[in-house]
Amino acid sequence: MAKHHSALGLATTLRPVQPVTLIRPHAAARAARFFVEKFPGRAMYAVKANPSPDLLQVLWDAGITHYDVASLGEVRLVSRTIPDATLCFMHPVKAEEAIAEAYFDHGCRTFSLDSIEELQKIMRATQGATDLTLCVRLRVSSDHSKLSLAAKFGAAPGETKELLFAARQAADALGICFHVGSQAMSPEAYSNAIERVREAIVEAAVTVDVVDVGGGFPSAYPGMEPPALERYFDTIHRAWESLPISYSAELWAEPGRALCAEYSSLIVRVEKRRGDELFINDGAYGALFDAAHIGWRFPVRLLREPDSNARDMEFSFYGPTCDDLDHMTGPFELPADVRAGDYIEIGMLGAYGAAMRTAFNGFGSDETVIVTDEPMASLYLDAAERREASNVVTL
Query: Known catalytic residue: 135?
Result: no
Residues 315 and 278: beta-carbon distance below 8 Å: yes
SS3 per-residue string spanning the chain: CEEECCHHHHHHHHCCCCCEEEECHHHHHHHHHHHHHHCCCEEEEEHHHCCCHHHHHHHHHCCCCEEEECCHHHHHHHHHHCCCCEEEECCCCCCHHHHHHHHHHHCCCEEEECCHHHHHHHHHHCCCCCCCEEEEEECCCCCCEEECCCCCCCECHHHHHHHHHHHHHHCCEEEEECCCCEEECCCHHHHHHHHHHHHHHHHHCCCCCEEECCCCCCCCECCECCCCHHHHHHHHHHHHHCCCCCCCCEEEECCCHHHHHHHEEEEEEEEEEECCEEEECCCCCCCCHHHHHCCCCCCEEEECCCCCCCCEEEEEEECCCCCCCCEEEEEEEEECCCCCCCEEEECCCCCCCCCCCCCHHHCCCCCEEEECCCCCCCCCCCHHHHHHHHHCCCC
What is the amino acid identity at position 346?
I
Alpha-carbon dihedral angle through residues 290, 348, 56, 352, given to the nearest 10 degrees: 0
- Residues classed as catalytic: 322
